[in-house]
Amino acid sequence: MGSRFGLEIRAATGADAPGLAELMSAAGHPVPAHDLADRLDALRYSHGTALLALEWGPPSGMIVLHWYPALEEASPIAQVTMLLVGPDDRRRGIGRMLLKAASQTARMAGCSTLQLLASAHQPDLVGFCGATGFVEAAGCFVRPLRKKG
């Protein structure tokens, strides 16, 4: 996808599973690396993707995106089901860069709306949603991917 100051954002593959398993475990989502590798490979062949932010060591962050058709929308809806940034890598713009890359991927998939799942027990993520243009709606946060007009 791109890089900025040594940070690369790209699609995750099964080979990235060990580092992503550590990131997920640190965030309270433990998944064995071998299971995660299979899930990442399956995601690549469905309506979704996992993007990772990578510098010179283990992954700094990850965003998981799915898209699906909806009866109430003419275009598919993209949904961020996971956004993680390592504790030592927060407040450096990594989450915003991951969100930008996911938005670009969703637009390329024909989506016009982006949803981000966040619960009230994730106050940092809720604050991030507000700061990045999302509005609260029906148990998630939503923002358009294309300018109205």
Q: Does residue 126 contact residue 135 with C-beta atoms inside 8 Å?
A: no
Please check whether residue 149 lies inside any domain of the structure: no
- Dihedral, 27, 29, 30, 36 alpha carbons, nearest 10: -110
Please check whether residue 34 lies inside any domain of the structure: yes
Considering the chain, what percentage of its residues have pLDDT values greater than 70? 93
Please check whether residue 64 lies inside any domain of the structure: yes
Please check whether residue 14 lies inside any domain of the structure: yes
Please check whether residue 100 lies inside any domain of the structure: yes
Q: What is the CATH number of the domain that holds 104?
A: 3.40.630.30
Q: Which domain covers residue 38, as residue numbers?
A: 2-144
Q: How many domains does the chain have?
A: 1
| pLDDT tens-digit map of 33-78 | 999 999 998 988 888 999 999 987 788 899 999 999 988 888 999 9
Please check whether residue 110 lies inside any domain of the structure: yes
Please check whether residue 19 lies inside any domain of the structure: yes
pLDDT of residue 3: 46
Global pTM reads: 0.86
Cα 92 from chain centre: 16
